[in-house]
Amino acid sequence: MSADLRVGLDIGATKMLGAVVTADGAVLAQTREATVPGAAGVLATATRVLDRLAAEFDGVLPSHVGIGFPGLVDRDRGAVSHAVNLGLGDDWLPLAERLAERTGAAVMVENDVRAATWGAHVLSGADDLGYLSIGTGLAAGFVLGGVLRRGASGASGEIGHVPVDPQGRVCSCGQRGCLELSAAASALTAAWPADGEISPAAALFAAASAGDAEATAIRDGFCARVADAIRMLGLAVDPATIFLGGGITDLGQPLLAAVTAAVREQAVTSPFLAAINLAARVRLLPAGVPAAAIGAAMIWDAR
Amino acid sequence: MSADLRVGLDIGATKMLGAVVTADGAVLAQTREATVPGAAGVLATATRVLDRLAAEFDGVLPSHVGIGFPGLVDRDRGAVSHAVNLGLGDDWLPLAERLAERTGAAVMVENDVRAATWGAHVLSGADDLGYLSIGTGLAAGFVLGGVLRRGASGASGEIGHVPVDPQGRVCSCGQRGCLELSAAASALTAAWPADGEISPAAALFAAASAGDAEATAIRDGFCARVADAIRMLGLAVDPATIFLGGGITDLGQPLLAAVTAAVREQAVTSPFLAAINLAARVRLLPAGVPAAAIGAAMIWDAR
C-alpha cells in the first residue's frame, strides 16, 4: 500500500463516515456506520469503520488517521469531550490513544468544522477561504494564506454565538439572540416538520418551489439569516471565497441560489456592502464528496 | 543618516502626525500639523509635515515614507479616495506619487486602521493580535501568525458595519442597527457633550468616577457595546491579544478597567464565553506612543 494514503473519519451524531484518501484528496474507499452514543459506543463505532476500511486493503490500515470530532478537542492529547449529541460529557475521552492501540495507526483529532474547512481547501485549492457549517449549530472555519486558523482558544469561527438581536431568545450558550438560533439548519427543521420521507429542508424547498407562500416565507427568512452569517464572515475576515457546508448543502443549486439572492438583497440599501460583492464569493463544494472526511484525512498536512 | 530610518505619517481628519522611526520602532523625531481639508490641502499639509521632519535631519528625509490614510486606499497605485472627513470624494488622489515627487522618497499608503494594527504588532511584539480602533467609526485589524490581514476586498475588520439590532437606527452605510452606531467614540461624545476644556469622553469618565449616576449609566452602556465588539473579534478570529486603539484610549487604565469589567459581565451567564476568557486578552498600548505613525513607518515590512 502506498505510504501516501491517509484515513479520514468524520464523526457525526447519527453516523460516522470513514474514507481512504490519496495525497491529492481522491477517495479510494469509503464506508459509514450508524453512531452508537457514549464513550464505549463512539470507540466501538470508530473501530468498526476503521476495520472495514482496512479490510479493503488486505487488512492493513494506512498508517495515518485523521478525525473530525463534533465537540471539544484537545489536539495535543488527542482527547475529546463535551459532545452532547454523542452522549459525551465533561470527562475527557483519549480518542486518539485508544484508536491507535486498536489499529496500530497514528491518530490525530481535530474539531469537525476545522477538518471540513481544511477539506474545502484540499478540494478547491483555494488558499483564502471561509467555510460556513450549517448544521444543528452554526460555526465557521478559515484557511488564510494557506494556513488553517485555529485561534488562541479554539473559538475561532464560533460566529453562531455572536448575539444579533437584543430581543431574541436565550441560547443554550447562556447568551440572548445568538445568530445560530435563526441561521442553523435546526431552525429551519423546527419551522417545517417533515414526514420522514425526505428531509425537512428538502420538503420546505420543494414546497416553496411549488409556490407555497408559507414555505417561501420560511425559506427566504432562513436564507436571510444565513446571509447575515456570510456578511459577518465577510466584514470580519473578508475571505476570497466562502463555502457553504453541512448536510443542508445536499439541496444543491436551489440552496445556493436562495442564499446568494439573500446576500444580494442585503446590499440593495448599502453601497458599502454592494462594493465588496459577497454574493459573488459564495460557493458549494462538489456534490456527494465527503469533504469533512477528506479534510480529516489531510489534517496531518494542515499548517 | 542611517538607511534603516523610516518615516510614518498618520493622516487624521483634524491633524497629521509624522514621525521618524528606527528599524525597531523607536521614535527619533515627530511633528504634527492641523489638517487642511481637500486634495490640495491634504497634499500641502503632508508636505509640510515631511519638510519639517527632514529639517531635523539636515534637510534630508529618510528614503521610505509609509502613510496611514482614513479612507479608501488603492495600495498598488498609492491612491486614496472616499475620505469624507478630509473633504475627499469619489476622485482618486495619487497621494504616494505626488508626495514622492515633492520629497524624493518612496511612499507607500495603507488603510489607517491596518497601519495602526501593524504598529501594535511592532510595539508589542505580539504575532497574533486584533486591534480595535474606537474612533468616529469602529473598525478592527488583525495580525495573524505575524501576517497583516488585508482581506480579499479590503473589508477585513469592518465589524462596525455588522448589524446587531434589528430595531436599531439606520446607519450611514445604509444598513440598520450597525455595531458602530453604539460602540464608536462618536456615540459616547453625542451622549455627553463637553465644554471643550477636556474631551467629552474624559468629562464623562470623570463624572462617572465622581458618582454621577447618569454618567455611570452612559459609560457602562458604551463599554458594554465595546465589549460586544471584542466578543465579535474573539468569536470570529480568536486572537491571542486584543488591543484597544483610537483617541479614546488616552483615558488609559479607567477605560481598560471599564471595558474589561463589561467583557467579564457578558460571561456571567455564559460558561461558553467564560471559558475563552476574552477579558484577560484585552490590552492598551503604551500611553503617548504614536502607534499609527510607527505602524505606517514600518508598513514596508508588513507581510
Interval B133-148 mean pLDDT: 96
Interval B165-185 mean pLDDT: 95
From first CA to last CA, the distance across chain A in angstroms is 26
Length of chain A: 303
Q: Quick check: B145 pLDDT over 60?
A: yes
Q: Quick check: B303 pLDDT over 90?
A: no
Instruction: Tell me which architecture the domain covering A6-116+296-301 has in CATH.
Output: 2-Layer Sandwich (3.30)
CATH topology of domain B6-111: Nucleotidyltransferase; domain 5 (3.30.420)
Please tell me the predicted confidence (pLDDT) of residue B222: 96
Q: Which residues of A touch B149 (CB under 8 A)?
A: 144, 237-238
Q: Which helix (H) or strand (E) holds A63?
A: none
- Three-state secondary structure call for residue B193: coil
- Kindly report, as residue ranges, where domains of CATH 3.30.420.40 are found in chain B: 6-111, 117-284
Edge-to-edge strands, sheet with A64-69: A27-34, A15-21, A6-11, A64-69, A106-111
Q: What is the pLDDT of residues B193-250, one digit of tens each?
A: 777 788 899 999 999 999 999 999 999 999 999 999 999 999 999 999 999 999 899 9
Please tell me the predicted confidence (pLDDT) of residue A2: 55
- Three-state secondary structure call for residue B196: coil
A237 with B156: Cβ contact below 8 A? yes
Q: What is the pLDDT of residues B46-82, one digit of tens each?
A: 999 999 999 999 999 999 999 999 988 999 999 999 8
Interval B284-302 mean pLDDT: 94
Tell me the C-alpha distance between B26 and B11, whole Å. 20
Please tell me the predicted confidence (pLDDT) of residue B2: 55
Q: Say whether domain A125-284 belongs to CATH 3.30.420.40.
A: yes
Please tell me the predicted confidence (pLDDT) of residue B194: 77
Write the residue in B144, B175, B266 that is nearest to A144 by C-beta: B144
Share of chain B above pLDDT 90, in %: 85
Write the residue in A166, A236, A281 that is nearest to B237 by C-beta: A236
Q: Which of residues 159-188 of A touch B (CB under 8 A)?
A: 159, 161-167, 173-175
Q: Which residues of B touch A270 (CB under 8 A)?
A: 173-175
Q: Which residues of B touch A162 (CB under 8 A)?
A: 164, 231-232, 235-236
H helix intervals, chain B: 39-55, 95-103, 112-124, 180-183, 185-191, 200-209, 213-236, 253-267, 271-276, 291-297
Sort strands A129-134 and A138-144 into parallel, antiparallel or unpaired: antiparallel
Query: Min CA distance, A117 vs chain B (Å)?
Result: 14
Instruction: Give me chain B's average pLDDT, please.
Output: 94
Radius of gyration, CA atoms only, chain B: 19
CATH class given for the domain over B117-284: alpha beta
B15 closest CA partner among B39, B41, B42, B34 = B34
Q: Which of residues 195-254 of B touch A (CB under 8 A)?
A: 228, 231-240
Residues of chain A with pLDDT under 70: 1-3
Q: Which residues of A touch B269 (CB under 8 A)?
A: 174-175
Please tell me the predicted confidence (pLDDT) of residue B3: 62
- Three-state secondary structure call for residue A146: coil
- Kindly report, as residue ranges, where domains of CATH 3.30.420.40 are found in chain A: 6-116+296-301, 125-284
Tell me the C-alpha distance between B150 and B157, whole Å. 9
> CB-based contact (8 Å) between B156 and chain A?
yes
A137 closest CA partner among A110, A118, A104, A111 = A111
